[in-house]
A and B are shown apart, each in its own frame.
Chain A
Amino acid sequence: MIKLESVTKVYKGEVLALHEASCDIQKGEFVFLVGPSGSGKSTFLRLLNKEEDPDKGQIFVAGKDIGRLSRWRVPYLRRNIGSIFQDFKLLPNKTVAQNVAFALEVIGRPKHVVKTQVPAILELVGLQKKMHNLPHELSGGEQQRVSIARAFVNRPLILLADEPTGNLDPATSVGIMRLLDRINKTGTTVVMATHDRGIVDTMRRRVIELDRGQIVRDQVRGVY
């Protein structure tokens, strides 16, 4: 599903974000990206949805070399990739339901699809009772659930998570991880960058460790 072949990314000519990174992630896998700050985890994720382009090497997503994707095709790549973040990136002036619906509306989904999909996905993340609340009326964990609902409502093949539990307390984090695990069980490939040792150690999934831009470890059922 995702394949990197000796990918190198350098920022501003000197900062080495990724160096000769190669790996192969199968459909339906759950992968943790671990490593200290600045080791290249976020760059890894940003390269996958083409927010940035590598300086060297090739990246394949769903069998396609995304380096050869023309600019106007990039939005269609992103429709297959959901993204969630540490800071949620919710729109503060829209309700929970509107935030999720927005993701469908702006890719031109018809109204009746929006009407049925939004309540269904909010039920999946356990927020059907709060669909008319604004984001600031929710707890951090609930806000992250909304952002997961928005990322997953279009049923993407891949879900990219950049420190999704970074702003949450351990108990709330466990709930978020259960949700991501459920999404993974539907066949969605999940790649999650994290600092959270406890989560990685309890989940026992594949772990890719980065250090100064290099993949130093790739374990099938790893710990932090």
Chain B
Amino acid sequence: MALKFDYVIRETGRNLRRNLTLTVASVLTVFVSLALLGVALLLQKGVSNATDRWEDGVEFIIFLQPDRSTSQQERIESMLERQVPGAIDRYRFVTQQEAYEEFSNDFFPNTPEITDLVTPEILPPSYRVVPTELDAEQVEVLARSFEDEPGVRRVIRATEEIRKIERATDVVRWIVLVAGIILLATGLLLILNTIRMAMFARRREIEVMKLVGATNWFILVPFMLEGTAQGIMGAAMGSGAVYGANRAFARWLASDNVLNILQSFAVDSGEVWGIALLLMGIGAAVGAVGSAIAAYRWLDV
């Protein structure tokens, strides 16, 4: 038996209006919690864009001359290879094309003025090296041993600055994430409670419906839609907030007085859409789960 579309819409709308205060409370809680989650994700994306090449324990990068000879490169590679698994845990070669992609996608995603000036041929290829020992002095000795090799342009180390950014944003991200999750749980409980109130207010109707043989689905769907609608409304507002925050950040980056290094924190709109989609999914799921729990417990007794 098909559920009647107009019946479901009418019932859902009526329930949402009837419980206005609780509905507003649920929606706002979901909104704030998902906005926090979204910002945490945004931060994570920004930091990972900025520090991509320093991830997974890479401690120094050997940049080669774009015009190095094959034998020079082979010599450097064999130097690296000889020390695996001794002083070096692993290393990775990054081609000029890969370097160009990293440059244009991660470092300057919103500034074509800069990326247009650059071609893969002028960017140096590099080795990303992960040492076994993280002791600063040993890493320094290892890094310096490559510095004077022919064909090497420059060796750069993961500076204390980058580690600091990573650590600081890690802490902030965790705080925001935990706060967001706690609020999300609160939102779920609020939705559960709203639906329970709605079902309690309509207990006579539900009793009659069961008596005359309405299916459980027929009774449940309007309530579940009500909860899901609350979750989606909160998520839509949360996504809007994340989008707005990113726009404001991008505009601030575009103004002249900002350090160039922060440019690499920019998150492109595709990534923001991804986050928004994720938030909508979470919101809908929270609403559906909350109302399903409420409805199931009510119907079961």
Contact = CB atoms under 8 A, between A and B. Distances in A.
A102 B208 contact: yes
B215 A72 contact: yes
Interface in B206-238: 207-216, 218-219
A154 B218 CA distance: 18
Contacts of A102: 205, 208, 212
B212 A106 contact: yes
A89 B2 contact: no
A15 B209 CA distance: 29
Interface size class of B (residues with CB under 8 A): 10 to 19
B4 A108 contact: yes
Given A75-B214, A75-B215, A76-B213, A91 B7 contact: no
Tell me whether chain B's interface is mostly helix, strand or loop, or mixed: helix
Interface string A108-138: 1000000000000000000000000000000
B4 A78 contact: no
A173 interface: no
Interface size class of A (residues with CB under 8 A): 20 to 34
Contact of B205 (A49, A77, A91): A91
Nearest to A147: B208
A49 B213 CA distance: 10
A75 B1 CA distance: 12
A137 to B, nearest CB: 18
A150 interface: yes
A79 B213 contact: yes
Interface of A: 49, 72, 75-79, 83, 89, 91-92, 102-103, 105-108, 150-151, 154
The 10 closest A-B pairs by CB, nearest first: A78-B213, A79-B213, A106-B214, A103-B212, A108-B1, A75-B213, A75-B215, A106-B209, A107-B213, A83-B211
